[in-house]
């Protein structure tokens, strides 16, 4: 029941070999995309490029003279920024910058933080809640699951005021206010 291919379609298919394609080592990429429920592959490639840039910057800073004031200032700034983003556990060592990978950025995505804060049981469910507009970070309602949450913003991840999920949680914990019942 498949139609016969036209001449130009046959010509194009001769150029493409679907059986043996060049081996792309994307098994790790697919695993991370599934694990963190990343909808866009471009997000993963951006995280990978950022991780590569951080690693190369750390290597370049390491090659400088340890007593150079520029190196000390730049190292402090880099470690402070990475610590504020939540990508490194401490501000102490430049070696930590060389260990940053795309997964470190994925762990700072809003659905993953929601699971960490026990707002959802699974990353997929958390991503749905974000897409449906149930979650806010500070005063802003977030609808993009790719939003990266910093350490400071982590404390301000909550349900929106009009969210049904928030009402269910308050009912379950018996904390719902009489004013909200109206």
3-state secondary structure string across the chain: CCCCCCHHHHHHHHHCCCCCCCCCCCHHHHHHHHHCCCCCHHHHHHHHHHHHHHHHHHHHHHHCCCCCHHHHHHHHHHHHHHHHHCCCCCCCCCHHHHCCCHHHHHCCEHHHHHHHCCCCCCHHHHHHHHHCCCEEECCEEECCCCCECCCCHHHHEEECCCCHHHHHHHHHCCCCCHHHHC
For residue 20, the model assigns a pLDDT of: 53
pLDDT of 174 above 60: yes
156 in any annotated domain: yes
Q: How far apart are CA 10 and CA 31, in angstroms?
A: 35
Beta bridge partners of 157: 137
Q: How far apart are CA 51 and CA 54, in angstroms?
A: 5
Structural domain containing residue 60:
27-105
User: Residue 147's domain is classified under what CATH number?
Assistant: 3.10.290.10
31 in any annotated domain: yes
pLDDT tier for residue 167 given thresholds of 50, 70 and 90: confident
User: How does pLDDT run across 34-76, given as a tens digit for each residue?
Assistant: 999 999 889 999 999 999 999 999 999 999 998 999 999 999 9
Let me know if 79 is exposed, middle or buried by CB neighbors in 10 A (0-12, 13-18, 19+).
buried
8 in any annotated domain: no
93, 68: one domain: yes
User: How does pLDDT run across 114-126, given as a tens digit for each residue?
Assistant: 999 999 999 999 9
pLDDT of 23 above 80: no
pLDDT of 106 above 60: yes
Q: Which of 62-66, 160-164, 173-177 has the lowest mean pLDDT?
A: 173-177
For residue 25, the model assigns a pLDDT of: 63
Average pLDDT over all residues of the chain: 89
> What tokens were used for 107?
């762990």
153, 97: one domain: no
Looking at 52, 80, 105, which one is the last position of a domain?
A: 105
Q: How far apart are CA 84 and CA 162, in angstroms?
A: 30
pLDDT of 181 above 90: no
């Amino acid at each position: 029941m498949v139609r016969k291919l036209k001449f130009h379609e046959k010509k194009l298919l001769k150029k493409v070999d679907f059986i043996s394609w060049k081996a792309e080592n994307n098994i790790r990429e697919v695993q991370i995309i599934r694990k963190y429920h990343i909808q866009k592959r471009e997000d993963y490639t951006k995280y990978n490029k950022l991780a590569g840039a951080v690693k190369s910057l750390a290597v370049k800073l390491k090659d400088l003279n340890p007593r150079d004031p520029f190196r000390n200032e730049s190292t402090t700034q880099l470690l402070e920024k990475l610590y504020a983003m939540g990508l490194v556990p401490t501000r102490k060592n430049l070696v930590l910058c060389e260990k940053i990978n795309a997964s470190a950025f994925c762990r700072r995505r809003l659905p993953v933080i929601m699971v960490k804060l026990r707002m959802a049981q699974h990353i997929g469910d958390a991503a749905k809640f974000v897409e449906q507009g149930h979650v806010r970070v500070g005063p802003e309602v977030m609808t993009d699951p790719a939003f990266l949450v910093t350490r400071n913003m982590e404390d301000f991840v909550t349900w929106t005021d009009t969210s049904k999920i928030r009402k269910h949680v308050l009912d379950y914990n018996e904390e719902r206010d009489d004013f909200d019942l109206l």
